[in-house]
Structure 1
Amino acid sequence: MSGSDLQRMVDALAEKIGRSVAINDPSVHLRCASRHFGDEDEVRVHAVLQRDGGSAVIGHMLSQGITGWTGPGVIPARPDLHMRARLCRPLRCRSELLGLLMVIDPESLTESDFEAIEDSAAAMAALLYQDFLAEDAQRVAGEAAVLELLCGAAEQRAAALRTLDEQGWLRSGHRATVSVADVVAPGKEKAQIEVALRVALEAVARHRLAEFAFAVEGNRGFLLQTAPASKEHLRDQGAIVTKQVRDALGESARCVVGIGTAADGLAEARISREQAATAARSARMLPDAADVVFWEDLGVYATLLEIPEDRLTPRLLPAALTRLIANDPHGRLVRTLAVYLDNAGSGPDAAAALHIHRTSLYYRLHQIEQITGLSLSNGDNRLALHLGVRVMALLDGPS
């Protein structure tokens, strides 16, 4: 099926009902559209010109659950986005979502208009299914190769590298950088999360397929790139992904992105992936962590986060620190200890950071030594307590 076949069907339906008709792909990017009949809004005009309605519009549409609809429904208007209400008719074949037929201002559609839309929808879905069989097989193979390259055993990685090279899906550069996006979205179905991740990763990778490849697995997305990129550029990419996911899934969802260091070619890309996954884990676990985190900025957490999640429990805390916690119900002494250790044992710097007099600081430190039974002048004691404080941050942060 060529794009012109679908375009002819769209144009024919538009002329029949006297309304503009558009077909979006399952990620809500415009695939084709008819001429306008004076019923267009700013969103439709922008989509026709840019082939993209914008992340806020896509998020509004996806938040209605349209990817799970099996029949026509109405997407409500968003005046703040200059978007009128739309009839959305999912185009499915064998239960597979292939596209979304959109008609603006559904309230004015007549019964005969609905009948014409239903008749055309079945034929359009059949046409789209032909493309789906070819395109999806290629997409699935490409994503499988990316996943095997980043997460597979040695033999799988070697085979994936050959596949990517043979198919020309990713240009083999001297460096390879991986970003990992993790999504936590209470109440959202797995399919909704996967679509949101695809939309977000496509927003970064679109039109740059020689340098970018991505894969989605459950609530985790992987972005692999061989193009050189500055830290600022990588941070901006991560911010695009987190924003797109929030727009699609709502403010209750959180998406974090971890970014690894540049590996020495695609063959070593799994190292960057491991680092990126650790950085994403830190963003999930540490209090007040940013949504986009670089592995190289983790410091001691890069080591502590190698501890498996099922082993990361209060049992790892030094006994002396556990005693301090038990005798410090308001957390004042633990906070004082953390700030003192973070300031390399400098009394003046710690007092300034805590906004207290130096005498008060030394009194608290004396209390800490009495409760823990440890001298803070001993380097090993300070190291053990400091590591314990860092583990506490991982235990106390969001999951």
Structure 2
Amino acid sequence: MAQYTIIATAAMGLEAIVAQEVRDLGYECTVDNGRVTFKGDEKAIARANMWLRTADRIKIEIGRFKAFTFEELFEQTKKLPWENFITEDGEFPVSGKSVKSKLYSISDCQAIVKKAIVERLKVAYKRIAWFEENGPLFKIEISMLKDVATLTLDTSGVGLHKRGYRAEQGEAPLKETLAAALILISRWTPDRPLIDPFCGSGTIPIEAALIGQNIAPGFNREFVSEQWPWIPASVWEEVREEADQKANYDQPLNITGCDIDHRMIEIAKKNSLEAGLGDLITFKQMQVSDLTINEKYEQSGVLIGNPPYGERLGDKPEVEKMYRDMGRIFSQYETWSVYMLTSHEGFERFYGKPATKKRKLFNGFIRTDFYQYWGKRPKRKERD
């Protein structure tokens, strides 16, 4: 099998998490802003799509070169072996972005790259006329950064956060990739209880259950590269079979999602069923001030949540009261660790104590902090 330069794109702040996932799959990698790069064959492309919980997309780097003029961009693009990737009937739209580069017109960069690829394919496929483009989809991106052009091919299609289980969602749903990252940062393990007091449509509890039973996040969806003839169907079959074998469907879980809105609880239940998790997760309508933790689970659990931020001015007093309630209630459970994501800069003040650790993350375009309060080690039970 051929070797490719594979890029797992990542939201700002999640690169280290994605890199660890790539290493866990067995690939050495390098980390840059917004991307994790590694080498691999066709199976590596399929496995990365199937298994990476926190990456946005999996791309193949086709070429990388300096380009100060449109002529250089055209000629260098034309030199690349596009016929190794794009079929004669392939549809190949070109998207683009440009930052701090002489070639700043994105639409011109896209047009030049498209024209260069067409010229290359005309020679390769001995064609005179324009291509029909009614076959498999090959999404190409030209990225200009400080006069360096990077040409990539998207292997995922729909973003990797689209797991295929979200039948319905609320107003501001947490991306599945970010939800998975919050759980991985918490170092939660499936033998410990987990509660999300603000579960909304159920994303954090569902992602926790998938992690807990080691179910591949891409198991119930399709990828655009499954239609490409140069990645054999047998590769995808092998990767899906590996995912099925590695899943631990018998792993017992104690995961609870709570929300004040009964409609969101119903949506969360539907999404959990759609994810194939059945009744593994308990969903309850409850406000955070009513939260109590069963004594037998008091030993060492995890509270993970994405509470309201109070972005709208009128919501602030209510949200700040909620943060006070959280601090008062959660502090009763000293062996539990608390992880909360919010953009509210006064969170620690209202919660009542400084976080053990903070991590800057982006929820969409909103800059947030992930406040981490590590619980005390539970006392060892004395032997009779």
Identify the TM-score tier after normalising by the shorter chain. under 0.3
- Tell me which protein shows more strand as a share of its residues: 2
| Superposition TM-score, scaled by structure 2 size | 0.23
- Tell me which protein shows more helix as a share of its residues: 1
Tell me which of the two structures has the higher relative contact order, counting C-alpha pairs closer than 8 angstroms and 6 or more residues apart. 2
| Superposition TM-score, scaled by structure 1 size | 0.22
